[in-house]
Amino acid sequence: MTEPVSSLSAASPIMHEVSRQIYPASALYVLATPIGNAGDVTLRGLQVLSMVDAVACEDTRNTAQLLTRYGLSKTLIAAHQHNEREVAEKLIARLQAGERIALVSDAGTPAISDPGARIVDAVLQAGLRVIPVPGASAVVTALSASGLGDDRFYFYGFLPAKAKQRETALTGLRTLPATLVFYEAPHRIVETTDALAAIFEPDRQIVFARELTKLFEQIHRCALKDAAAWLTADANRQRGEFVILLEGASAVADADDAEAERILAILLAECPVSQAAALAAQITGQKKNALYERALKMKAR
């Protein structure tokens, strides 16, 4: 997209339709930007960017570059996680004076694992309008191409970096019947995958959605038990930006698991792990190996 927005709007019927919508003054426009490919900006996003008085953004250099790609130049106001409260006051004063202001983050949708929520809250509390201008977000982009869970998903965002806190967080998600979605940094991707494998069933499907919409986009799906080997087979697979999706617990499997754990707990109090697994396999009809693994984990808890 090299053409300036103004010529696009003059030329195309769709831009005519976009520009006919009412864009009230004294409003904050929460505007999604691309997560990789600059072509993923929306026509309405361009329209709003072209008409606002200022853009509040996470990093003024990044946003200046983005705007330049669309042939735009705007007053930029830094609004990052360390100054959200103070900047909210500044933005409110400008909005009260009748300005339109766009709120953007470095990539994707503001306030989704990004700054923005506090500003939106303050603007709403000041009785001013907040208007969403939707577009890309890595969570929805990854989910749409994952083939996992067509009804429910649980977006966690970034897991805690500390092992103990991460384990507690993951344990709390073990029985949730919804696709689990995490954001992760490349330097933690292997560690996080190991943590998932230690807590969730080995046959759950996992999806690594890497570098979405970019040149080296890769979406890989496999069983959780095979994930670490896939990641470490090629260092390139650990590079870039990641969304991790994990198949949710199935309600039936949960009930079976709970029953197997109950039986194993009784047997483990009386006999060694291998014998407990063998007896539990006879009682439940489940595979002895899986029960053995489960019994080992139960012992370790």
Q: Which residues bind ligand SAM (CB under 6 A)?
A: 35-36, 105, 107-109, 112-114, 137-139, 183-185, 209, 211-214, 241-243
Residue 94 or 210 with smaller CB distance to ligand SAM = 210
Residue 35 or 101 with smaller CB distance to ligand SAM = 35
- By Cβ distance, which residue is nearest to ligand SAM? 108
For the chain, the C-alpha Rg in angstroms (whole number) is: 24
The neighbouring-strand residues paired with 158 are: 183
C-alpha 145/C-alpha 298 separation (Å) is 35
Residue 235 or 252 with smaller CB distance to ligand SAM = 235
From the CB of 32, what's the least distance to ligand SAM, in Å? Answer: 7
Token pair 């409003």: residue: 27
From the CB of 48, what's the least distance to ligand SAM, in Å? Answer: 17
| Phi and psi at residue 133, to the nearest 5° | -120, 95
Residue 58 or 257 with smaller CB distance to ligand SAM = 58
Residue 63 or 137 with smaller CB distance to ligand SAM = 137
From the CB of 145, what's the least distance to ligand SAM, in Å? Answer: 11
Q: List all residues 6 or more positions away from 57 whose beta carbon is below 8 Å from its beta carbon.
A: 63, 76, 77, 78, 79, 103, 104, 105, 106
From the CB of 236, what's the least distance to ligand SAM, in Å? Answer: 14
From the CB of 235, what's the least distance to ligand SAM, in Å? Answer: 18
**295, containing H or E segment:** helix 288-300
Over the range 81-103, which residues count as b (16 or more CB within 10 Å of their CB) and which as e? Answer: eeebeebbebbbebbeeebbbbb
